[in-house]
Structure 1
Amino acid sequence: MILLPHVWWLPALLALVLLIDAVLSLRPPKFIRDCLDGVGFPREWWWTLLVIKTTAVVGLVVGIWVPGVAFAANTGVIIYFASAAVAHLRARFTGKEFWINCLGMLALAIAVQVLSVLP
């Protein structure tokens, strides 16, 4: 099992993107509001996404030095965006928000996971 990322800047890049996403989610711009409303995610639960994204950021950064943490955090990010993709498909909300925001982030998280553990 891979315990530390071979390329430290990949989890750092994913952490930076998630941090920007979390900061944007404090006062969601139209494309984030459209995305969450489009899948029917209740507004009173939007705060949970901030907690999830911030926790992932911390895990990815700490995991650069602490064995196994970045791998676990990255796995959580993959599960988060895979779940978001399922929510989009179930809601039949497959516009540009789905392709760019959701699948783009899922692809980035998968790429970081794969490239971080390759020797």
Structure 2
Amino acid sequence: MTLLPHIWWPPALLALALLIDVVLSLRPPKFIRDCLDGVRFPREWWWTLIVIKTTAVVGLVAGIWMPGVAFAANTGVIIYFVSAAVAHVRARFTGTEFWINCLGMLALAIIVQVLSVLP
């Protein structure tokens, strides 16, 4: 198995989706505020999510050329959204935000990982 993505655009697409999420999170619209409040994530810690997602964007983009970096960043994104899904379930906050935002991004991250490692 090579540690470079077989095709460049899936990690780039995931990086773009996360970058849009980062930009939106700088001044969170109602659906993001509702989501974070719904899982009872402390507002003082919201900035950490921006740092985590920005790091993932950098890793996904750098990993298009640097072996293993996109794989590691994508794995981190999957773990992030699995953790978010667990937080949603534990908080019993499983409305639209859970199904579309959380599980949608988790599905995208998994699909990107599979497409990146398949020959």
Task: Determine if the TM-score, normalized by the shorter chain, exceeds 0.5.
Answer: yes
Provide the aligned length of Structure 1 versus Structure 2.
119
How many Å apart are 1:55 and its aligned residue?
0.1
Give percent identity, aligned residues only: 89
Amino acid paired to 1:84: A
Mapped pair 1:22 → 2:19? no
Alignment-derived partner of residue 51 in structure 1: 51
- Within a 5 Å distance, the mapping from 1:4-83 to structure 2 comes to 4-83=4-83
Mapped pair 1:100 → 2:103? no
Residue segments in structure 2 that go unaligned for 5+ positions in a row: none
SS of equivalent residue, structure 1 residue 3: coil
SS of equivalent residue, structure 2 residue 6: coil
Alignment-derived partner of residue 87 in structure 2: 87
How many Å apart are 1:20 and its aligned residue?
0.2
Distance 1:113 1:41 in 2: 27
Amino acid paired to 1:110: I
Alignment-derived partner of residue 111 in structure 2: 111
Residue segments in structure 1 that go unaligned for 5+ positions in a row: none
How many Å apart are 1:2 and its aligned residue?
3.2
Distance 1:34 1:54 in 2: 21
Give per-residue Cα distances to partners, 1:30-89, cap 9 Å, x unaligned.
000000000000000000000000000000000000000000000000000000000000
TM-score, normalised with respect to structure 2: 0.99
